[in-house]
Structure 1
C-alpha cells in the first residue's frame, strides 16, 4: 500500500482501475469519484484523468487496446467489483502493461475481460460528483454540496439564478442525471466520509450497526434504505450480519 498522485492526458486504449485496499479519488473532465476498497472504475480510451490516494492504498491497473473493450457509457463508470472480475483481474497480473502485442493468449484474455464490461457496468452512474461546465450549473452544484443535508431544488435554482424547472432539465440534459440522483450521490459520499471518520472502512470490517449509528441523524430511514441499496455487496461482504438481515423492517 502506498500514497500516489498520478495523471495522464489520455489513456490510449482505456484502463480498468480496481481498488483493493484504501480509498482512491478519480478526477476527470466532467466530475470526480471517490472509490472505496471493493470498487472498480473504467477510464475510457483517450480520456484525461488524475488518480489520487491521499492515504496508503492498493490498486490494480489493467490496460487495454481500443478494440478490446465493449464500452457503452459516455465517460468513466464505477461499480462494485464482481467476483468474476476479481478473479480475472487477478489472473491478468501475469502480464504487465507492456504485454507483447503478438501474445495471442494475452490478447484473447484481455478481450474476454473487455467484452464483459457490458454486463459488469450495466447500472446507473454512481460515486460521481459532477463539476458542471456552465457557471450557473457550477453555482447550483456548489450550493448543494455546501447544504447537502437540507437543500431543496428551489433553493439551488435560486442560487444558480434559474427556475426550478430549468435546473431539473439542465441536470438531465447536461449531466445525464436527475436532481434526485444528484442529491443521493452527495449523501452517499457524505455517508462514506462519516463512516471513515468513525471507523476505517478499508482497515476494519464495516458493520451495519455503524451505518445505522451514523446515518440515523439524517431523516434516517430513507437515507439508510438508500445506503443499503447503494452498497449491498460491499455491506454484505464487510459485515458480520447475514445477508438476510440486511433489510429495513
Structure 2
C-alpha cells in the first residue's frame, strides 16, 4: 500500500488481516509502510503499533486524548485501543508487535522520542512486512532487540497531546479555540458558545483536568509544530499565526514544551532523513 493515500472512507492499515498468519507462522512482528494524506475510520488492532513519521504530521485520536506527532517522532498505540489516525504529507513506517513479544501496561497512546539508533532500526525493519509468510530467524532476533529498545522508550513519553471530552460544551469550546488560536481569549470564547466565564472555567477543568488557558497554550504549540515544518515558514510568522506577540515569547514557550528551539525544530525536520519503508 506504499504510495497510496488513506481517505476518510478507507480501511485502517492491513494489520488485523494478517493476524492469523502471524500466529500460525510464528511471526511475532512486522511492518507496514505508508505515504500520503487522509484519515482512517475508527479502528483497533490486535497488535501493538509503533508508527514512526519520517515526514509530515500524524494525528491519533482516542476517546480521551488527541495526539499530534511531528516528523522524527513515533507514536505508540497499544493493542485493542480504539483510535482514529490522520495524516498530512506523511511518510511513515509502522511496526506491529505481538503483545506476547512486547508487554504494555499503560494502555494509552504515547508520543515517544526517537534517537538516531531507534530511527535507523525502525526504517530498516521495513524489509520485513507484516504480511510475509514463514518464520525468519534474523527477523525474529531483530524484532526482539527492537522490542527491548521500544520498551525503554515507553517511559519517555512526550506531552504532545490535547484532551478530548464527552461534554458537548467543552468540545465546542475546544473546537472554537483551535480554530481561532491567533485571536482566542476567554471572553471571546464565552461569547461564541454563549456561556459565562465561571461556567466555562468550572466545566472545562472538570472535563479535562486543565484550565482553558493551559489548553490554549498547548494547542498553540502543537499547531506551531505543524506550521514550522511547512516550506517557507519562519519562527516569527509561526509565532504570530498561533497568537504569540513576539518571537522571543514563542521561543521560550516552545522550548519549555518540546525541549527544542523553534529554529532547531524546523531545521532538523527540513533535512530529509532516509525515507521510511524504502
**TM-score, normalised with respect to structure 1:** 0.71
Q: Which residue number corresponds to residue 17 of structure 2?
A: none
Instruction: Find the aligned partners of 1:170 and 1:98 in 2 and give their Cα distance.
Output: 41
Structure 1 SS opposite 2:54: strand
Q: Give the alignment partner of residue 87 of structure 2, picking from 53, 59, 65.
A: 53
CA apart distance, 1:150: 4.7
What is the match of residue 224 of structure 1? 251
How is 1:1-249 mapped onto 2 (pairs within 5 angstroms)? 2=3, 4-5=5-6, 7-8=11-12, 9-55=43-89, 57-98=90-131, 103-123=136-156, 125-152=158-185, 159=193, 162=199, 164-172=201-209, 179-196=212-229, 199=232, 210-215=234-239, 218-220=244-246, 221-229=248-256, 230=258, 232=260, 236=264, 239=267
Change (3 A) 1:120 1:191: same
Determine if contact 1:62/1:89 at 8 Å carries over to the other structure. yes
Task: List gaps (5 residues or longer) in structure 2.
Answer: 13-42, 269-278
CA contact (8 A) 1:21 1:37 kept: yes
For structure 1, the residue ranges without an aligned partner over 5 or more in a row are: 201-209, 241-249
Q: Deviations over 1:169-195 (max 9, x none)?
A: 3312xxxx5645532321013323443
Cα-to-partner distance string for 1:133-163 (whole Å, 9 max, x where unaligned): 2212212312322343454567757846625
Between the two proteins, the alignment pairs up a number of residues equal to: 226
Change (3 A) 1:124 1:141: farther
Contact 1:26 1:51 in 2 (8 A): yes
Q: When the two structures are superposed, what TM-score results if normalisation uses the length of structure 2? A: 0.64
Q: Label 1:234 to 1:10 Cα distance change in 2 as closer, same or farther (>3 A).
A: farther
Q: Structure 2 vs 1, CA of residues 92 and 169 (structure 1 numbering), >3 Å: closer, same or farther? A: same
Give the CA RMSD over aligned residues.
3.5
Displacement of 1:126: 3.3
**1:5-30 CA-partner distances (Å, limit 9, x unpaired):** 15432211111111112333434444
